[in-house]
Amino acid sequence: MMPRVDANTMGLSMLEALRAREAAGRPIGVALVGAGAMGIGIAWQVGRTPGMRLVSITDLDLDHARQAADAHGGPSAVVGPGDALPPRGTTLLTRSPFFLLDRPELGIDVLVEATNTNGFAGEVCLRAIEHGIDVVLMNAEVDLTLGPLLGHEAAARGVVVTSDAGDQHGVLMRMIDEIEMWAFRVVMAGNIKGFLDRYATAESIAEEARIRNLNPVQCCAYTDGTKLNVEMALVANAAGLVPWVPGMEGPRAARVEDVFQRFDFDKYGTTGVVDYILGAEPGGGVFVVGHCDDPLQRQYLRYYKLGDGPYYLFYRPYHLCHLETTRAIALAALYRKPVMRPIHGRVADVYAYAKRDVAAGEAVEHAIGGDHAYGLIQRCDVADAAGMLPIALLEAEGDRWARFARSVARDAPIRYDDVVLPDTFLCRQFRRQAEVLAGPPVRA
């Protein structure tokens, strides 16, 4: 299928193209799935970006959907399957997105998946792709777990599936593209983590989650480092980089410039790696270290005050999450381009490690951000051969929970043989993905 590039965008900047669509009465129709903290921010941003309109907001909690609609602005109405649709321009509020995807007259061009689910998110994305709708993944977990499968299905239908532009991995990939175009070899793509407690639980950080207006399970996934590892695995799979050790090295640093003392870049040889620093100021942001040993170029770089080399630091002191989501929407809808995608397949994944001593028979409701496990990035060729379990596959779907078949000691890797996995949508699609990638059979 040929890409559906909008001829009216030719020769225009992104903002100019969006303003042209606004003036022509042809805004990009956006369906938002998930109205948590990020979803509400996305709704606000879409409402203030020319050339976009929010067609629908889906959340199990309609009060959250209403908050997102209020942030967006304009009229909204709750609808269900079989209900008459309100006038065009009314944002539809639903508890399920599936019936909306069957209604082409709604004009949904791009679906933004912003839940913290895995199986449900995968099903929503696959259904959107079947209907020829582009997908932006604010949901990093499903992006990592099923990214290659979603990309395979999208390519077959001429649809774009992309990571979000504003999360750390999206920002890093944009930096990597630029730095490689400048003829640097990427030595390290790095994240900056403010605080880390591998053993945090949703209960232990409940007050911090309340202060930050976050779901405690989601906040726990940030605090125990699983989300960090997911983001860097996405970078690995998009850029062909690897973690040097399971979980990455992650040294403490006072400032980002300290990476030159905290890492031994020579030991990596020509292998590009993903990693992070802990506690650096100013907080937040991402960095890339590039290598250039050309004498002429190094003269220019010295003049540009980037140092003597051959290692050079590039740093972006912020990533703006929902503010930048509209960039990913526009890239997909206007230019048929992703911000990033796993073009290298499954180079790395995030594998489960016991957060505490776990007894046989215990059931797992929340894998990512739960009480049983934290996740560490590891090379797939090594971890899969050792029977290690990607943490996302532990996630419950409805009343189908994984159970431990044997006890696992704190900090030990959790292997397929340690658990009984239920027959979930996610596990089935993960097996299907393995066949697409022609990888080894996935045990579940």
Two tokens, residue 298: 């190094």
Q: Taking residues 163-169, what's their average pLDDT?
A: 97
pLDDT in tens, 231-265: 999 999 999 999 999 999 999 999 999 999 999 99
pLDDT in tens, 78-101: 999 999 999 999 999 999 999 999
Q: Which residue in this structure is represented by tokens 């202060």?
A: 211
The Cα 285–Cα 257 span in angstroms is 13
Q: How high is the pLDDT of residue 283? A: 80
pLDDT in tens, 316-338: 999 999 999 999 999 999 999 99
What is the 3-state secondary structure of 76-97? EEECCCCCCCCCCCCEEEECCC
**Residue of 118, 122, 150, 140 whose CA lies nearest to 395:** 118
Contacts by 23-28 with C-beta closer than 8 Å and gap 24+?
Answer: 26/51, 27/51, 27/52, 27/53, 28/52, 28/53, 28/109, 28/110, 28/329, 28/330, 28/333, 28/334
How many CB atoms lie under 10 A from the CB of residue 404? 20
The Cα 316–Cα 71 span in angstroms is 28
Question: 4 has which bridge partners?
Answer: none
Q: How high is the pLDDT of residue 443? A: 44
Split at pLDDT 50, 70, 90, the class of 7 is: low
Return the SS3 of 314. Answer: strand
Split at pLDDT 50, 70, 90, the class of 438 is: confident
The Cα 51–Cα 327 span in angstroms is 12
Q: How high is the pLDDT of residue 441? A: 43
Q: How high is the pLDDT of residue 180? A: 98
Whether 340 shows a pLDDT value over 50: the answer reads yes
Q: How high is the pLDDT of residue 4? A: 61
Whether 432 shows a pLDDT value over 80: the answer reads yes
Q: How high is the pLDDT of residue 440? A: 44
Q: How high is the pLDDT of residue 282? A: 77
Q: How high is the pLDDT of residue 276? A: 98
Whether 1 shows a pLDDT value over 60: the answer reads no
* Dihedral angle of Cα 150, 153, 158, 163, to the nearest 10 degrees: 10
pLDDT in tens, 73-83: 999 999 999 99
Split at pLDDT 50, 70, 90, the class of 342 is: very high
**Which domains can be identified in the chain, with CATH numbers?**
7-163 (3.40.50.720), 168-316 (no CATH), 348-436 (3.90.1210)
Sheet strand arrangement including 161-163: 76-78, 91-94, 52-58, 28-33, 110-113, 134-137, 161-163
Query: Please, what is the Cα angle at 339 between 336 and 340, to 5 degrees?
Result: 110
**Residue of 114, 366, 345 whose CA lies nearest to 234:** 345
DSSP letter at 318?
Answer: -
* Percent of the chain whose predicted confidence (pLDDT) is above 90: 93
Count of residues in the chain: 444
Whether 270 shows a pLDDT value over 60: the answer reads yes
Whether 6 shows a pLDDT value over 70: the answer reads no
The Cα 201–Cα 217 span in angstroms is 8
The Cα 414–Cα 376 span in angstroms is 11
> What pTM value is reported for the model?
0.95
Q: Taking residues 382-393, what's their average pLDDT?
A: 98
Q: Taking residues 370-391, what's their average pLDDT?
A: 98
* Dihedral angle of Cα 318, 319, 320, 326, to the nearest 10 degrees: 140
Q: Taking residues 124-149, what's their average pLDDT?
A: 98
Return the SS3 of 301. Answer: helix
Q: Taking residues 290-319, what's their average pLDDT?
A: 97
**Residue of 370, 108, 126 whose CA lies nearest to 226:** 370
Q: Taking residues 136-153, what's their average pLDDT?
A: 97
